[in-house]
Chains A and B, each alone.
Chain A
Amino acid sequence: MFLKKTLPTIIAFVCGVTVIIAYFFNIPFFQTTAQEILKWQSVIAIFALGLGAINIIRVHSTNIRRAKGKNAYSIALLITFIVTIVVGVFLGQESEAYKFIFDYINVPTGSAIFSLLAFYIGTAAYRSFRAKNIEATILLITGCLVMLGRVPLGAKILPFSVPATDWIMSVLNVGGQRGLMIAGAIGFIAVSLRIVIGLERTAYGGD
């Protein structure tokens, strides 16, 4: 009970209060301690990365075992996982082999996934731009107006769309977003306070 509940709450309280004091006050002891706490945060995250790596190996080796070696994705993942670790550890991150993996495999595949966003915006817009009710109709009209206002041809087709778009983006859009941000920030502070005083049990992995 002490190790699982009380000790983590004490540690969270002490670390949280130290960092808060260091953020507001010019007190050398707290400034130095807060900096150390942030360093420790990185160290603990590295240990967690080890746990994550073990999880990847466990999940995909189970997949391969269950599929009797026919799960191509898990086999490919484990092979690339091991190859990248071996190259990174033994040849170093500045080596040609490591740069090759990063520049010619990691970056292009990441870009490919990111590029899917363009198509998904299209399909999501197609589904949502249907005048099913008043809200959807407002979304449809506003969406069309902003699209027209954002392309050069739109100004020729409907000159009114350009100032209307500017007004929608700078007044309605910014106003709504700031409302969300301010409310989110207040909630953020409340959750952080609850964690520091030990009320948010999820932060400690549940009760």
Chain B
Amino acid sequence: MTVAVEFNTDLKKEGVNQLFVDGRIFDFWTLIFMTGLMMIFMYLARKGMKVTIRPIPGFDAIEEAVGRAAEMGKPVHFTPGFGGLVAATFAGLEVLRHVTKLAAQYDVRLIVTVSQPETYAVTEQVMRQSYLEAGKPEAFRVEDCRFISSDQWAYASGVIGVLLREQVASNIMIGQFAAESLILAEAGNTVGAIQIAGTTNAYQIPFFVVACDYVILGEEMFAASAHFAQDELHLGSLRAEDIIKGVSIGLMIVGALLFTFGNEGLVNIMIK
């Protein structure tokens, strides 16, 4: 979910006088509304408002996956996917923090494969820091955080190689995935690994659903930091997200009804 944006640096030359970029007024106020709501709920959560999150089976199964690897004496494999530093990758890295701490606790070898160079730099630091927080900085091995390739199929073949050669007990794939998702999941299945996967890419979720044991569906991934840390600020932001989803559903219903009866008022407001 990346957005390619180009900025217009020749505004004076083109004689552009209006303050807002064409068609982004509604988007701007929506962003302000969302930011405001998140700030309010983060503040309320900090002041003691109780926020509970429903159990997410994929997250709960992570400890089982690492524990299984400890029992079998085999490594755990984790990959944040094919994406660069986008929100889904950050959500994946948040899970990696938790997985790394568990691996350190259970004395399990954790192998992490990365496809993008900028993600690799952050991933290595996340692993190093997590081992340090778990009290076992010496357990971190630089060669277990592996940059594979920024080429999609080279990355896929590299990960297949790691899964097969290392005979991993658990395969965790949480982040941004594209067409390589099923190839990786089937390779994990071939070695008999317990598999936990998650992505926001709606086209790849069905592949994970049929090939993996647990799947974290779309936006559930973004609850990772709130789920693992139980930090009030993250929980507050999560509550705000739920309210925004409710408002979005309400807008869709109202918009559909208005449009059905020939009123384009809401549509005209939204395209401004």
Contact = CB atoms under 8 A, between A and B. Distances in A.
Contact of B219 (A59, A117, A176, A187): A187
B21 A55 contact: no
Select the residue from A34, A184, A185 with max chain B CB neighbours within 10 A.
Answer: A184
B90 interface: yes
B260 interface: no
Select the residue from A24, A32, A53 with max chain B CB neighbours within 10 A.
Answer: A24
A186 B182 contact: no
Contact of A31 (B9, B120, B154): B9
A172 interface: no
A164 B93 CA distance: 41
A58 B124 CA distance: 14
Contacts of B1: 184-185, 188
Contact of B120 (A51, A191, A195, A206): A51
Given A55-B145, A200-B90, A205 B122 contact: yes
Contacts of A205: 122, 125-126, 128-129
B108 to A, nearest CB: 19
Contact of A202 (B38, B93, B238): B93
B18 interface: yes
Interface string A113-133: 110110011011101100000
Given A52-B120, A56-B147, A195-B90, A113 B157 contact: yes
Nearest to A177: B202
Nearest to B229: A201
Interface of B: 1, 5, 7-9, 11-12, 16-21, 24, 27-28, 31, 34-35, 38, 84-88, 90-91, 93-94, 97, 114, 116-118, 120-122, 124-126, 128-130, 133, 142-143, 145-147, 150-154, 156-157, 161, 179, 182-183, 185-186, 189, 200, 202-203, 205, 207, 209-211, 217-219, 221-223, 225, 233-234, 237-238, 240-241, 244-245, 248
Given A125-B210, A181-B202, 13 more contacts: A27-B19, A28-B11, A45-B118, A51-B147, A111-B153, A184-B218, A187-B241, A188-B1, A188-B222, A191-B87, A191-B222, A195-B90, A200-B90
6 contacts: A28-B12, A110-B154, A117-B179, A120-B186, A187-B241, A190-B241
Q: Which 8 A-B pairs have the closest CB atoms?
A: A205-B125, A206-B129, A187-B222, A52-B147, A110-B153, A128-B210, A187-B219, A48-B117
